[in-house]
Amino acid sequence: MYALGDLLDDIRYGTAKKCEVAPHLVPVLRIPNVAGGRLDLSELKHAEFSQKELDKLALKAGDLLLIRSNGSLDLVGRSAVVSDLPTTTLFAGYLIRLRFDLQKVDPWFVQYGLQELGSRRTVEQLAKSTSGVNNINSEQIKGLELSLPPLAEQRKIVRRIESAFEKIDRLAGEAKRALALVGRLDEAVLAKAFRGELVPQDPNDEPASVLLERIRAERAAAPKQKRGRKAVQTDVQAGAKQ
């Protein structure tokens, strides 16, 4: 087992600078851009930074962004690996950037390792708070332990995990399409039932649709019985005389 701190080249908190939607400024990744386990570059916010800040906080491919603070305990410790970014991009203060020696560590292996059940329990125990905001700090992150095989084996394990996720996504898509098909089949079965096409029919039988129309027509043609106040009073008087 290795302490995560022994695998890091750098660990750093993000910027506390207030951000806004201003595409002409530098984009800043926030918790919503990380929470799904993959980077989501939609709905970015931006801020202006000095060159010193850019040099210190700019992200690069292979960095691991980890949520360090949130009201939801389930989100704390969730992470995403940074891939090639279209422009210089920084990250907000509720995130921590983990930078590894990529000659020794596959960041995707660490990403999946941190989501493993035992690691999740450890993170949640460390982060749990009664104040309503759950936090994990850089020292606690560096103390997390991870089994680390050789780099080639890490990559092989990552490929297997990715392949399993692809199969799950494919099966989920097939299940969704099957449910939609079942819905259409239900509609088709009902339509056939009302046309009398589900079972062999006696040629003299009326189709259900014709039968329904005939019933409606008969109801419409039937004389309606009128029962006004006078009729009700007569009935009451007749009952009283008995």
Assess whether pLDDT exceeds 80 at residue 90. Answer: yes
Residue 236: pLDDT band with limits 50, 70, 90: very low
Of 148, 181, 196, the residue that ends a domain is 148
The Cα-based distances of 76 to 95, 112, 128 in angstroms read: 10, 15, 9
**Which of 113, 148, 183 represents a domain boundary (last residue)?**
148
Per-chain mean pLDDT for the chain: 86
- What pLDDT is stored for residue 229 in this prediction? 53
Q: Is 134 found in the same domain as 191?
A: no
Say if 75 falls within a structural domain.
yes
Question: 23 in helix, strand or coil?
Answer: coil
141 and 185 co-located in one domain: no
Residues 109 and 205 in one domain: no
Q: Which two tokens stand for residue 240?
A: 């009283």
Residue 142 within a domain? yes
Residues 144 and 180 in one domain: no
Please report the pLDDT score of residue 160 as a whole number.
Answer: 94
Record the tokens describing residue 176, joined without a space. Answer: 């969704």
Q: Looking at the predicted structure, is the pLDDT value of residue 17 above 90? A: yes
What is the number of structural domains in the chain? Answer: 2
Pair 63, 99: CB distance under 8 Å: yes
pLDDT band for 171, please (50, 70, 90 cuts).
Answer: confident
Task: For residue 74, give the H/E element and its range.
Answer: none
Please give the share of the chain, as a percent, with pLDDT higher than 70. Answer: 83
Q: Does the residue 154 lie in any domain?
A: no
Same domain, 11 and 113: yes
**pLDDT bucket at 76, cuts 50 / 70 / 90:** very high
Q: What is the CATH number of the domain that holds 85?
A: 3.90.220.20
Q: Considering the domain boundaries, does residue 158 fall inside one?
A: no
Q: Is residue 226 part of a domain?
A: no
Q: pLDDT tier at 199 (50, 70, 90 boundaries)? A: low
Burial of 75: CB neighbours in 10 Å, binned 0-12, 13-18, 19+: middle
pLDDT band at 202 (very low <50, low <70, confident <90, very high): low
242 falls within a domain? no
Question: In this structure, are 88 and 202 located in the same domain?
Answer: no
Confidence of residue 54 (pLDDT cuts 50, 70, 90): very high
Whether 240 has a pLDDT exceeding 80, the answer reads no
Domain that holds residue 174: 170-221
- Residue 41's pLDDT is 93
CA distance 122 to 150: 24
Residues 137 and 186 in one domain: no
Let me know whether 19 and 139 are in one domain.
Answer: yes
Residue 233 lies in a domain: no
151-157 mean pLDDT: 96
CB 6 within 8 A of CB 104: no
143 shares its domain with 207? no
Of 148, 178, 196, which marks where a domain is finished? 148
Cβ(45)–Cβ(30) under 8 Å? Answer: yes
State residue 65's pLDDT score. Answer: 97
Same-domain check for residues 116 and 46: yes
Residues 61 and 135 in one domain: yes
Among 1, 3, 46, smallest CA distance to 26 is for 46
Q: Do both 59 and 178 map to the same domain?
A: no
Q: Report, as an integer, the average pLDDT of 160-169.
A: 88
Is 164 a domain residue?
no
